[in-house]
Amino acid sequence: MAPSVEAVDEFYRVSLILGAIDEGSPGISAKVHDGSYACYVRDLDGNKVVAVCQGGW
C-alpha cells in the first residue's frame, strides 16, 4: 500500500531505474478492486510487484 499517488509514481520510477521491468505503468487500475491508482513491475528475481494507493486521491 502506498500512501499517495506520488508514492506510486516514485516507486515505479525508481524501480525502472534499478532494473525492474514495466508490467503496467501508473494509473487507474481495473486489476485492483475499486479502480485504485496502481503500477506493476517485475523485479530482478522475476516477482511481479504492485504499488497501490486506494482512495483519497
Which pTM does this prediction carry? 0.87
- Given a cut of 80, is residue 53 above it in pLDDT? yes
- Given a cut of 60, is residue 57 above it in pLDDT? no
Contact 55, 1 (CB under 8 A): no
**CATH number for position 12:** 3.10.180.10
pLDDT in tens, 2-52: 999 999 999 999 999 999 999 999 999 776 667 799 999 999 999 999 999
Domain ranges, residue 44: 5-53
Q: Which residues of 22-35 are buried (b: 16+ CB within 10 A; e: fewer)?
A: eeeebeebeeeeee
For 1-57, list the strands marked E by DSSP. 21-28, 37-42, 48-53
Domain count, the chain: 1
Contact 26, 12 (CB under 8 A): yes
From CA 5, how far away is CA 57, in angstroms rounded?
A: 7
